[in-house]
Structure 1
Amino acid sequence: MPGYLLRRLGSALLTVWLMSLLIFVLVRMVGDPAYLLMPPEATEADRQLFRAQLGLADPVPLQYARFLAGMLRGDMGNSFHFGAPALSMALSRLASSLLLVGVSLALALAVGLSLGVASAVRSGTWTDRLASIFAVLGQAAPPFFVALLLIRLFSVQWGWLPTGGHGSWRHLILPVCALAWYSAAGIARLTRANMLTVLEADYIRMARIKGLPAHVVIGTHALRNAALPIVAFTASQFGVLIGGAVAIETVFSWPGFGSLMVEAISTLDFTVVQAAVIVSVLLFVSINLAVDVLYALVDPRIRYRQ
């Protein structure tokens, strides 16, 4: 077990380092903040002095070494645009994004599991066909399109819910539904496939022959044995939802990571983009590491195969 944990931890640290290198390089390919943040009448000498003050005139390897050392200390520099610490700005939006993603993931899991189990148990019926249509539409329609459609129906046409903003549970409904749609469809399809396989197993037939109630056979025996792949897939959806939240937060004016990153990219605020991405990567890697450990505890064969 200790060896398995060390290997998983090493993989997690390697992932964080590679992502830090990737985002550091990518943000510098977007453009020069000296041209965006300084007035048009500024001379090239003024811009060069501005770059020197921000540390952008140094060689790129030196900039990355300074960024990596600061990241290890929890210091990712100050925002070019606002002057505030970039990490503090990212963390200040963390709660809003986690609320949106957490509720969306919980809704996706509840809907996906319910539809997947119902579809598998009633295979070939109208319930199965409706669940299949939901799964296909859910994975075909991008979240931002669903978001615009929900705003058109529930906000503009019927006036039931606000078009955007933050402050009450009513502001949360449309963003959560738009963000959870895609993941719910994926969970429903995976649950149906795994449940169909498990329901054909001999021990399920034996349980039915013994006269156990249907809810015990399905919930206690079948679903528990089909749950491991679903748990892994659901954990992977955290990263998918974090990525999808960028568009959703922009559409609904939700003050989270997504809207912060859009603002930072539009102003070429490198430090804020880097801080937001690194925090997101750390969250995603931590959740996957926790799932790996949970897998090893549930099924000891996994730690020996790795």
Structure 2
Amino acid sequence: MRAFIFPGQGSQSVGMGKALADASPVAREVFGEVDEALGQNLFRLMTEGPADALTLTENAQPAIMANAIATLRVLEREGNVRLADKAEYVAGHSLGEYTALCAAQAFDLSTTARLLRLRGQAMQVAVPVGEGAMAALLGADLDKARAIAAAAVEAVVADGGGAQVCTVANDNDPGQVVISGHRAPVERAVSLAKEMGAKRGVLLPVSAPFHCPLMQPAADAMAAALADARIAAPLVPVFANVHAAPIADPDAIRAALVEQVTGMVRWRESVLAMVEAGVAQFVEFGGKVLAPMVKRIAPDADAVSVVTMDDLENLLKTM
């Protein structure tokens, strides 16, 4: 069995999609449709930069999606492959869940692009710049990360910091958990990490504290947008971030996407659940982030990243 998986924020880089678009009219068509849906030349930003504009959440999210969908569409149309014939499940990390749903035709491409633009904008304005932060706790499992986050909140409150939020945002793999919340406790967690048993804590260069309760205004905005969005039953079930379990009902998908904004990305559990369900191969489209995570979670699984035309040709030989 096989799962198609799709990366989240952080996998963007200037130049993304250019080689694919140069080689394939199918890819150019995808980028053109996204540009039209958004009313901007996102593809030029992807290929030419500047990097700081591409990194803005409202641009990075649709750009990462467009690059992954273009890669998949080239496989499907030039390789004569049907997703439903080659994958039993789809899944994505954070915004990648929208990409997965687009890949499985629950959302059309234009709707996906517009929803991700809105999602990026809503997440950016939910917390004033400088008030929130995120950090990776390396060498920490989920329980250890939760203990470090709780200790950090307790320490800041004891210092007179008032009510604080610091929770686990992403359970990525057995040795990498990301925390999110108010800046003071997140910074305190970084300083506490080593003495509490993690290898180290590293502040992440992000503009907002994603996947924590501080994102509730963004969750409300997405609830309103998704209420009006057409969601079809996906061709194959999607493993939802917040459930680490497959869902296919449109109403369940809508609810999971709203919950995802403030909820934890249960990526490690999702991969283990897919393996338990019989998935032996994971194919990451448009990035090189998730496949290494999969190998750390499930060393016996086959995990490949597909970014270039050569990658696509090699993948076709294994299908």
Which TM-score band applies after superposition, normalised by the shorter structure? under 0.3
Structure with the bigger RCO (C-alpha within 8 Å, sep 6+) is 1
TM-score norm. by structure 2 comes to: 0.26
More helix by share: 1
Q: Which has the larger radius of gyration?
A: 1
Q: Which has the higher strand share?
A: 2
